[in-house]
Structure 1
Amino acid sequence: MLSVCGSSSDWGACPDSRRSVSGFAVFLGDTLIDWKSKKQQVVSLSSAEAEYRAMGKAATELTWLVRLLSDFGVTIDMPIPLYCDNQAALHIARNPVFHERTKLY
């Protein structure tokens, strides 16, 4: 089973640019197969926004990884769990309506 553990961000981590750092780790069963930690391209106005962007990057990487694994004949059960500890970001992700107060985009 493929899962993403620790889709997270450090809000405003860089003291010079105030940009957040996103990170995630992808496991196939109990084996770590992919991970990434990178400074976000834009300044997030809240921790929820930074976490939501981190979830988006993790989902993008998962899409690529599922297609790569299928080229090797590995089938992946869907849906793939994506874990996040920020309740506000999870609420935004679950509710696909325009969120005026979040100022995400």
Structure 2
Amino acid sequence: MKNCNNNDLLKVLKMETTYNELPAHNLLMSSKNDINKLFDYINKNEELSKLMNSCGTYVYLKYLGVVIFSIKENVQISHLSEFIQYLLNKNVCIEFNQNVML
């Protein structure tokens, strides 16, 4: 992954953007830690699972060790901001990926 910190993520964190203004509707995520275990934990935690599901869906690519997260069209940017902030606090590298489609 080329750039974990970018202005587009910052706009989401500051809630200065909308779904239609996002550069892509898919996020590519990786981590030095086991990202699959992190998403398993999120799924088992009722509050985090509800937050994640309000933002979108994901697919874990085992052999690449990455997650592709598809953002829901009707996502509330405040929820997406909270979810992304949680992931960044867990040292997840996140970038918008315009080449991925699920």
The structure number with the bigger radius of gyration is: 1
**TM class, shorter-length:** under 0.3
How does the TM-score come out when normalised to structure 2? 0.26
